[in-house]
Chain A
Amino acid sequence: MRIYSLFVYVFLYTPIAIIALFSFSAGRSASQFEGFSLKWYGRALDNPFVMDALANSLFVAFVSATLASILGTLAAVGLQGMRGPARAFFDAIIYIAVMIPGIVIGIATLIALVTVFDVVNPWLANIWPEGREPPALTMGRPSLIAAHTMFTLALVVLIVRARLQGLESALSEASADLYAPPMRTFRLITLPLIAPAILAGFLLSFTFSFDDFIIAFFVAGSETTLPIYIFSSIRRGVTPEINAIGTMVMLASLVLLVIAQLILRRSNKR
């Protein structure tokens, strides 16, 4: 049994180790190791396409994770006090958001937005003052942020709600009994108690958005995110440079997740 488990760990980590190993190869070939070198890391960091894609990914991940944390937390807290069909409807939508495959979310967002833009753009051109270039809505960063926020917002609602359900209502009831206005109770009692869940939700949302390929593939328009760059490069053949990028991305996700775990664990112990 022990040996079996060891095999499974080898299975889990060999591919990751191979990518990391080949990223240090000095040679041009991606399949033969020709001496240790860090040059592909330098090459990747000097590549303007990579840096552009990275900047896009970071920006989109940061904005959508922030929006999702705020909207998701508000919704989770508001839902606590709601009953009846409205609540059931909202729960159903959250459930759908998590269950529907990413690829269907991607195509649905693509055709819905393109159709809406086709209607709105001529109308915008019509009402725009003469002589000035009318704005044209296209797929790009904003549409990608909107799509990622939708999905990650559902995740934040689930995480924060789990935390809220574990809280003792006695605390906020005591606060209300002592005549604290509701906003004050929320700010001084509820918010500090759910803060770890919000932060964990933010970090998970950030990681999801940063790693997402399939939704971005449809919704990003002419923009390139890092996963899209990696995917299209692999299509042309694996290079040591891609391995270097992959290793850096894996390390970054890892650090974020360790932080999220530490925060959640510490708050659960309290």
Chain B
Amino acid sequence: MTERERNWLMVAPAGVWLLVMLVLPLSVVLIFSFGERAPAGGWVPAFTFEQYANLPARLTAFQNTLTLAPLGTLAALIIAYPLAYQLAVRTDPRWKTILLVLVIVPFWTSILIRSYAWIYILGGQGLPALLEIFGIEGVRLIYTPFAVTVGIVYGYLPLMVFPIYVALDRLDKRLLEASSDLGAWPLTTFLRVTLPMSISGIATGCMLVFILLMGEFLIPALLGGGKVFFVGNALVDLFLQSRNWAFGSAVAVMLILVMLVTVTIYMRLIARLSATREDVSIM
């Protein structure tokens, strides 16, 4: 047996598995999206763009996803950045690791369980009851876009902190000293040195969170109470309740297209941003 044959033999089982369980199913979704719904639910073969023409029927789900996913990503970034900064720049090296691990630990426990905890906190017996003690009455938090955003930020915060921390930790601290020695205000140092140097971490964190949010189902299902729903919730409804596989497939294909387009635009933006940064540093 040649080395080439041996390599092929080692890769083949995984390759076949991925072809059968990933490439084939995704192709089926694409094919089904051009078909029609069978009267009893399910699918009949056809070649029509009818399902795609019908997509506006689920416009709200796309609108919610495309509003709350970027909003949630931004909120997570704003909350995560100061913490990552504190951990990377201001914390005693002896405590760094343990404090970072404490941020990441929740992320590795079931997101289902962590999300439903917010039903307690935001529900009638939780924060609203607390606010009533202070005389603020009639506040409704659960099953609102706010609740979903809180759930999102809570669920994905660790994923945002980690890459920013890594970027800031790599930053040469002497640059910050140099900047302040040369008489720069702390804010100037932050805007001209720290922030540009951590842009790669910000970009990675935002991308990870945004991609995961685009396919989110659990958080809106638990905290949106059917009023705030994402594309993921529409998909569950279409496949498990109304059994409209053709239309559901079109929605899934559209979701992936939207993801591809937004991520591509986003990457271009980041590339341009880091290009201008290099121009500045040369000056």
Contacts and interface: CB of A to CB of B under 8 A. Distances in A.
A and B bound?
yes
Given A16-B117, A111-B29, A78 B9 contact: yes
Which are the 9 A-B pairs with shortest beta-carbon distances? A101-B215, A78-B10, A15-B117, A108-B25, A75-B14, A150-B21, A112-B25, A78-B11, A246-B113
A104 B255 CA distance: 9
Contact of B22 (A12, A74, A96): A96
Interface string B233-259: 001100110000100110010011001
A157 interface: yes
B90 to A, nearest CB: 6
Nearest to A242: B116
Contacts of B232: 101, 103, 214
5 contacts: A72-B14, A77-B10, A146-B20, A211-B110, A218-B240
Nearest to B4: A81
A14 B259 CA distance: 33
A149 to B, nearest CB: 7
A153 B19 CA distance: 12
B110 A153 contact: no
B3 A182 contact: yes
A169 B255 CA distance: 43
A11 B255 CA distance: 31
B117 A81 contact: no
A137 to B, nearest CB: 14
Contacts of B106: 12-13, 16
Interface stretch (A39-47, A120-128, A191-199, A249-257): A249-257
Contact of B17 (A22, A150, A254): A150
Max chain B CB contacts within 10 Å: which of A15, A234, A257? A15
Interface in B84-126: 85-87, 90, 101-103, 105-106, 108-114, 116-121, 123, 125
A234 B116 contact: yes
A4 B82 contact: yes
Contacts of A99: 211
B218 A214 contact: yes
A230 interface: yes
B7 A207 contact: no
Interface string A200-214: 000000010001011
A59 interface: no
Interface string A208-224: 00010110011000000
A2 interface: yes
A105 B29 CA distance: 10
Given A8-B83, A19-B113, A99-B211, A111 B154 contact: no
B113 A250 contact: yes
**Number of chain A interface residues as a range:** 35 or more
Contacts of B146: none
A27 interface: no
A78 B109 contact: no
Nearest to A231: B112
A71 interface: yes
Contacts of B245: 111
B21 A149 contact: yes
Nearest to A207: B108
B3 A81 contact: yes
Contacts of A79: 7, 11
Nearest to B108: A257
B52 interface: no
Nearest to A230: B112
B215 A249 contact: no
A50 to B, nearest CB: 14
A32 to B, nearest CB: 8
B217 A214 contact: yes
A17 B163 CA distance: 26
Interface in B30-87: 32, 43, 79, 82-83, 85-87
Interface string A65-77: 0000001101101
Contact of B86 (A2, A112, A234): A2
B121 A18 contact: yes
Contacts of A165: none
A13 B43 CA distance: 46
Given A12-B154, A111-B28, 11 more contacts: A9-B103, A12-B102, A15-B154, A75-B13, A82-B7, A102-B215, A103-B236, A104-B26, A211-B109, A238-B120, A249-B110
